[in-house]
Amino acid sequence: MTADPDIATVAQAIGEPARAAMLLQLMDGDAHTAHSLATIAGIAPSTASAHLRRLCDAGLIRVTESGRQRLHRLAGPEVAQLVEALTALAPPRLPRHLQPDPPTGQLLEARSCYGHLGGRLGVTIAARLREDGVVDDLHPGDTGAVHTFDHPLLTTLGITGLAAPPPVRACLDWSHGSVHLAGALGLALLTALLDARWLRRRPTGRALRITPNGRNHLAQLGFD
């Protein structure tokens, strides 16, 4: 007998392509129906129910009722951290010799990562805020404080305070091998960028589009 955690149960729940695709989609932080997740995973809705039940039994997702709809979300930020860590370890879908250098694509440029901003833009903003002393140089998984809101980006976006702890958490960005910002600051940044229409959600998936207005403002603030 052993008291070690049964990580095999969780690994088996994740370790199926359709279920993995569903979890990656749920990384956008939104709630989704079984039908929309089935479409993302490329399987029939009837098949999706069994997969979602497996994820729910493993504690990876939770289900809520909204009228006659059943909506599915990740069970919490710890699940999002697990999925992001796995993506950092996972091999690319294309052979390495076919991978672009530097990485390109909609998902790699900007994406929603469980309520905060990931991708190249997220990593760039995190690096700039570290350099300017807004946040500390954190390792993946570390939490920290916001030392000042007197920064051109935060001022322009109207971010003057944060709602809930932790103020900042460093989230490993699988596509660029660095960290982007999660926690309350990460949520505030993504919300403000969307509200200002510097970013727009795409019709499907969690990739975000940087609008021409957003590119202009970011360039003026020194974000190439």
Other Cβ atoms less than 10 A from the Cβ of 82: the count is 15
Give me the residues paired with residue 113 across strands: 116
Nearest to 146 by CA among 131, 157, 162: 162
With contact defined as beta carbons under 8 Å apart, do 146 and 135 qualify?
A: yes
With contact defined as beta carbons under 8 Å apart, do 55 and 61 qualify?
A: yes
Q: What pLDDT score does 145 carry?
A: 95
Q: What pLDDT score does 63 carry?
A: 94
Q: What pLDDT score does 99 carry?
A: 44
With contact defined as beta carbons under 8 Å apart, do 151 and 185 qualify?
A: no
Predicted model pTM: 0.77
Question: What amino acid is encoded at 11 in this protein?
Answer: A
End-to-end alpha-carbon separation of the chain, Å? Answer: 56
Give me the residues paired with residue 169 across strands: 143, 182
Q: What pLDDT score does 173 carry?
A: 86
Nearest to 194 by CA among 169, 165, 214: 214
Taking the chain (224 residues) in runs of 10, the rounded mean pLDDT of each run is 78 93 90 92 92 95 90 91 82 50 70 90 96 94 94 97 89 84 95 97 87 96 87
DSSP annotation of 65 reads: E
Give me the residues paired with residue 64 across strands: 71
Q: Which two tokens stand for residue 46?
A: 């009837």
List the domains of the chain with CATH numbers: 7-75 (1.10.10.10), 98-220 (no CATH)
| Torsion on CA atoms 173, 171, 75, 86, rounded to nearest 10 | 40
